[in-house]
Structure 1
Amino acid sequence: MKDTSAFAKAHSEPKKISVAFYNLENLFDTEDDPNTLDDDFTSDGFKNWNGKRYANKLNKLSRVIAKIGHKETDEVPVLLGVAEVENKDVLQSLIATKALKDLGYDVVHYDSPDERGIDVGLLYRKENFQVLESETISVYLESEFGQQDYTRDILHVTGHLMGVKTHILVNHWPSRRSGVEESEPKRIIAAQKNRMIIDRIQEQKPEARIIVMGDFNDGPHNESIKNHLVQKDLYNPMVFLNTRYEGSLNHDFEWYLFDQIILSANFMRLHENPLRYNKSDIYNEHHLTEFRGRFKRNPFRTYAGKRYLGGYSDHFPVYCIFEHHS
């Protein structure tokens, strides 16, 4: 008699997991840090930030996080890189919210020298990702006057993702505030720093699994990403997501895909691959958008200048789906 249970097990569907990135748009607590320029986000500050607004933002963000990739996996993300967080405490408060507190999340975070005090971090589900080591790597920039221009560090976390050793690099590259062309050299330097880390990893293990994620303040086709970061050892699935009608953020009525997740090419291998890339997407469900007015369908943000809107973030999250073959 045929062993149907063994046959079914051998041909069972692989488990799907999601890995995501989300710029949380100024996730500050309400306390004044004398060492950073966080004064706007205090009760006496420009934005009248307070405990009620902070709690509202935490709860809204947590409900979004719990739904990223859920349609494909029936679960929450196993990894979530984040940007624009003030400190480790805000991340601990985020995973302690009602929507996330029972899901087994923990955080990796280091303070970086950014003048506003905003950093990157990594949320991970302990049952799916076991941290082996972590470090923070600074990006040295200079202003036009030859002084050091402080920016966010790169977070490098190494761990076992579904049992597969994986390196995660979380980024938030210099903004375009001073102009696209003027600021581009700084993002190229950040890209080159990532390449240096990747090359160092691959010197020790050529087949290392690497995930580079972040708010790069450049799109998939910009110089920093296309020519300085993504080489033949990396694959950027996000190139297909940015269109005239869709992106992760909108500026002056134009869509951009600054938020990206870039993978080492070995995630694409079709055979004998325990953790295989499946698809990518932007999590831009209707409730995350402006419902009406001239900014309809844009991300529903927390503030528009000084005006409090009470939304989520000025960015949509992005995510990748992987198939785990046990």
Structure 2
Amino acid sequence: MKSLNYWLFLLFLSASLVITAQEKKKFKIHTVAFYNLENLFDTINDPVKFDEASPILEMKTDIKEVYMKKVHNMARVISEIGTDISNNSPVIIGVSEVENRQVLEDLVNDSLLIGKDYGIVHFDSPDARGIDVALLYQKDVFRPLHDASYELKIYDDESQKRIYTRDQLLVSGELEGELIHIIVNHWPSRRGGEAKSRPKRVAAAKLNKHMIDSLQSIDPYAKIITMGDLNDDPTNASVKKVLNAKANREDVQLKGIYNPYEDLFKKEGLGTTAYRDAWSLFDQILMTKPLIEKDYSSFRFYKAGIFNKNYLTNKYGRYKGYPLRSFADGGFTDGFSDHFPVYIYLIKEVAE
């Protein structure tokens, strides 16, 4: 009996050492995010854009003050995304609904972000409203190597005239020395109804899939993140059929795509934007299989989330619980955006 107790003691001690060793594992963690900034326009009427219909240019007074407050509000949100775990604002963040590079310069130079030393990747797109997508990155963590803008050519079914919309932005670079590819999207809206506008988003998804396929033809193990305001939910055809995105990690094959936001939408009922008392999860971050492997010797996906802090929600009235947008009824609300940001954490095991 004494011998048995001795061996049980050794077994317990061995298990304790393994658990202790596991508990001592250390990980480096970075936040990657996307945020629709809802009409981040400047105060200057650009004669070659339809920006005079932007909420800020429709205002009659205090335009400059409102603009600076809008920028500061956006900076506040960005400065806080992911900090609960990473203790840092996003090292990479895609943004949409920005008018030009100058509004991005004003954003990254806001007092809440200037210390992060964000770089900017931006191209002017042919969008009729003059809004673009862009990528911001912390220069000491991410180093862009290549960037390109891919044009989405879609046409009106009746007139066959081209519909000018946002380009899709590809940025390839090194995240602390590891090659990663980021695609930033803002797919065509649901104006005219979901069914009627659906082919436009299917076309956007096809362009996105072509970009991903091209990267994978060079390297099947490429780490690719595609993010944005897709104007479709994770369950819509553009995402499920064209991108063939999977909700279950185990179902993702080589060259496949994983969408962590499908379960958040279907099982938890979460969303990023609301309309007529229904939530949609249009803002998503998807990734290829090499980012979801269980080997953490390089950066891998850890967790996805929606940044829906209490201060970002409307507290009163008809739109109680909705995202607290910046502009409503022709005026500035001192709010933020009609979309919540989304984010993922990338982690990498580091030596003691």
Using structure 1 for the length normalisation, give the TM-score: 0.94
Once the two structures are TM-superposed, the CA of residue 42 in structure 1 deviates from its matched residue by 7.9
Return the match for 1:96 from 72, 87, 109. Answer: 109
Return the match for 1:268 from 283, 292, 295. Answer: 292
Is it true that 1:172 corresponds to 2:172 in the alignment? no
Specify the alignment match of 1:313 in structure 2.
Answer: 337
Specify the alignment match of 2:226 in structure 1.
Answer: 212
Once the two structures are TM-superposed, the CA of residue 164 in structure 1 deviates from its matched residue by 1.2
2:303 maps to a residue whose letter is K
CA contact (8 A) 1:30 1:42 kept: no
Q: CA RMSD, aligned part only?
A: 1.9
The structure with more helix, counted as a fraction of residues: 2
Specify the alignment match of 2:5 in structure 1.
Answer: none
Once the two structures are TM-superposed, the CA of residue 46 in structure 1 deviates from its matched residue by 2.7
Q: Deviations over 1:54-111 (max 9, x none)?
A: 1001111101101000001111101000000000110010000010001121110000
2:342 maps to a residue whose letter is V
The number of equivalent residue pairs is: 319
Return the match for 1:279 from 299, 303, 324. Answer: 303
CA contact (8 A) 2:55 2:327 kept: no
2:335 maps to a residue whose letter is G
Identity %: 41
Specify the alignment match of 2:16 in structure 1.
Answer: none
Once the two structures are TM-superposed, the CA of residue 245 in structure 1 deviates from its matched residue by 5.1
Specify the alignment match of 2:125 in structure 1.
Answer: 112
Return the match for 2:275 from 247, 251, 255. Answer: 251
Specify the alignment match of 2:58 in structure 1.
Answer: 46
Secondary structure at 1:316's aligned position in 2?
Answer: coil
Is it true that 1:67 corresponds to 2:91 in the alignment? no
Once the two structures are TM-superposed, the CA of residue 303 in structure 1 deviates from its matched residue by 1.2
**Cα distance, 1:12–1:48 mapped onto 2, change above 3 Å:** farther
Return the match for 1:143 from 156, 165, 171. Answer: 156
Cα distance in 1, alignment partners of residues 98 and 154 from structure 2: 21
Once the two structures are TM-superposed, the CA of residue 161 in structure 1 deviates from its matched residue by 1.4
Specify the alignment match of 1:160 in structure 2.
Answer: 174
Secondary structure at 1:325's aligned position in 2?
Answer: strand
Return the match for 1:127 from 137, 140, 146. Answer: 140
Which protein has the larger Cα radius of gyration, Structure 1 or Structure 2?
Answer: 2
- Larger CA deviation: 230-239 vs 125-134: 230-239
Once the two structures are TM-superposed, the CA of residue 272 in structure 1 deviates from its matched residue by 5.2
Uncovered stretches (5+) of structure 1, i.e. residues with no partner: 1-6
- Larger CA deviation: 128-137 vs 294-303: 294-303
Runs of 4+ in 1 over 4 A off after TM superposition: none
Cα distance in 2, alignment partners of residues 264 and 22 from structure 1: 21
Using structure 2 for the length normalisation, give the TM-score: 0.87
CA contact (8 A) 1:241 1:282 kept: no
Cα distance in 2, alignment partners of residues 180 and 293 from structure 1: 27
Specify the alignment match of 2:9 in structure 1.
Answer: none
2:37 maps to a residue whose letter is L
Cα distance in 2, alignment partners of residues 22 and 230 from structure 1: 23
